[in-house]
Amino acid sequence: MLVVQKYGGTSVANVERIKAVAQRVARTVKEGHKVVVVVSAMAGETDKLINLAHQISSNPSEREMDLLLSSGERVTSALTAMAIEGHGYKAIALTGRQMGIITDAVHTKAKIEKITGEKAKKALGDNYVVVIAGFQGITETEDVTTLGRGGSDLSAVAIAHALNADLCEIYTDVDGVYTADPRIVPEAKKLDKISYEEMLELASLGSKVLQTRSVEFAMKYGVPVVVRSSFNDNPGTLVTKEDEDMEKVVVSGIAHDTNQAKITVMGVPDRPGIAARLFKGIADANIVVDMIVQNISSDGKATDISFTVPKTDSKKTLKITEDIARELGAKGVDLREDISKISIVGVGMRTHSGVAAQMFDTLARHGVNIMAISTSEIKVSCLIDTKYTELAIRVLHETFQLAGA
Ligand code: ADP
Ligand code: ASP
Ligand code: MG
């Protein structure tokens, strides 16, 4: 069997952890498998590098940022390969470029276009363990890129697909995917399996246990993914195709996202083309807008439009929005960062009614005001004041009876 094992930041946080990773890899090889390892930077390293850059410049070039950030994963890939060699196995560390991970040129959130992987294939044929620096790639014109925060998950899934691996294991600091973030809800229950679709919703709604794009990729190509802990041998959570059992459960999990900001454009003229002008301007800057709420104007003349964007893009979006608002003759623009999005997710919602009402009722009973709502076939999201985040997750966890037995 060919296995891709991805180890996240806490799993390679220091020398002891890297040695533990090497030990697990050695064990897997001993069991007769070929192993490709994908590593993140040491825990906190990427943040440290970002912080350094911001001490040098308030607006660092994104190309240079990518070169800087890619260094964290280089360090752990080389150290991990050395540690594996310490167990008497041949190991070779490769950067994203050496792995032939070709991406587009959207720096800091590049998309993988193809993976050539020649060097890795040859090394695997020669019985090497291949250790690849996650989170990074290279453009056709040889500029280093990174794949967005948490992007080593995507590296792992894409590499598993490119090398036709039998399994992609994501090793992290929790035993698998839980019904809610186990750090916030201690009663949260580990799921044995979850559908790609539910996992995709949970990830995109803020459960950072897997990066959203990695789930998208796994679902598109049917890559079997297991999330498990690098700190023990407990079985993890299998992310796989939906089956009948999964539909019986109405709500599978709760996600929260505190990394969003809400922008409101006040007093926008109520006529065709306004929303198109505003959101085209934002999309042109490669900013992803999430929730959008437009009020019906009471006098037929002016209305308010609110929308959310990632906090990291809030200043940039504010500037663009202010320019467009002026051009459109709007009254003003307001930015709020103290907001959270709470979401319930489950494929069972397709066949059960009244789930959204139950969510709103639970929040209302606990005095939590809802600022915006969005729904899809398998999720309901509410935007709330950030100070109610934990309370909301806990009471919803209770309402939908997600706690373990
Ligand atoms: P890594 O560094 O290994 O990539 P991350 O910090 O990115 O790890 O992701 C693991 C974290 O995801 C956990 O520590 C946990 O707090 C968080 N998390 C959020 N939601 C969930 C969930 N539903 N199930 C499991 N973990 C979750
Ligand atoms: N080191 C990168 C980050 O912190 C990528 C990853 O860990 O997956 O976002
Ligand atoms: Mg992660």
> Could you read off the pLDDT tens digit of each residue along the chain, which spans 405 residues?
999 999 999 999 999 999 999 999 999 999 999 999 999 999 999 999 999 999 999 999 999 999 999 999 999 999 999 999 999 999 999 999 999 999 999 999 999 999 999 999 999 999 999 999 999 999 999 999 999 999 999 999 999 999 999 999 999 999 999 999 999 999 999 999 999 999 999 999 999 999 999 999 999 999 999 999 999 999 999 999 998 888 888 899 999 999 999 999 999 998 899 999 999 999 999 899 999 998 877 777 899 999 999 999 999 999 999 999 999 999 999 999 999 999 999 999 998 889 999 999 999 999 999 999 999 999 999 999 999 999 999 999 999 999 865
Residue nearest atom 10 in ligand 1 by C-alpha distance: 209
Alpha-carbon distance 92 to 287, whole Å? 37
φ, ψ of residue 85 in degrees (nearest 5): -60, -30
Residue to mutate (ligand 1; options 37, 157, 175, 209; most atoms within 8 A of CB): 209
Q: Is the beta carbon of 148 within 6 A of some atom in ligand 2? A: no
Q: Is the beta carbon of 46 within 6 A of some atom in ligand 2? A: yes
Residue 92: in which H helix or E strand, if any?
strand 91-94
Q: Is the beta carbon of 96 within 6 A of some atom in ligand 2? A: no
User: Which ligand lies nearest to the CA atom of residue 7 in the structure?
Assistant: 1
Residue nearest atom 9 in ligand 2 by C-alpha distance: 149
Confirm if 215 and 239 have CB atoms less than 8 A apart. yes
User: Which atom belonging to ligand 1 lies closest to the Cα atom of 9?
Assistant: 2
Strand, coil or helix: 232: coil
| 276 Cα–ligand 2 center, Å | 34
In sequence order, what are the residues at sequence separation of 6 or more whose Cβ sits closer than 8 angstroms to the Cβ of residue 184? 256, 389, 390, 393, 394
Whole-model pTM: value is: 0.92
323 token code pair = 């320019």
| 172 Cα–ligand 3 center, Å | 8
At 317 the pLDDT is 97
| 15 Cα–ligand 3 center, Å | 19
Residue to mutate (ligand 2; options 6, 37, 135; most atoms within 8 A of CB): 135
Residue to mutate (ligand 2; options 10, 38, 46, 145; most atoms within 8 A of CB): 46
| 269 Cα–ligand 1 center, Å | 43
Residues with CB under 6 A from ligand 1: 8-11, 40, 150, 172-174, 177-178, 180-183, 207-209, 253
Alpha-carbon distance 246 to 347, whole Å? 7
Per-residue exposure over 154-188, b if at least 16 CB sit within 10 Å of its own CB, e if not? bbbbbbbbbbebebbbbbbbbbbbbbbbbeebeeb
Q: Is the beta carbon of 40 within 6 A of some atom in ligand 2? A: yes
Q: What share of the chain is helix, strand, coil (3-state, %, to 5)?
A: 40, 25, 35
φ, ψ of residue 198 in degrees (nearest 5): -65, -40
| Angle of CA points 161, 189, 22, to nearest 5° | 45
User: Which ligand lies nearest to the CA atom of residue 205 in the structure?
Assistant: 1
What is the per-residue DSSP string for 248-268? H-S--EEEEE--EEEEEEEEE
106 token code pair = 């959207």
| 166 Cα–ligand 1 center, Å | 24
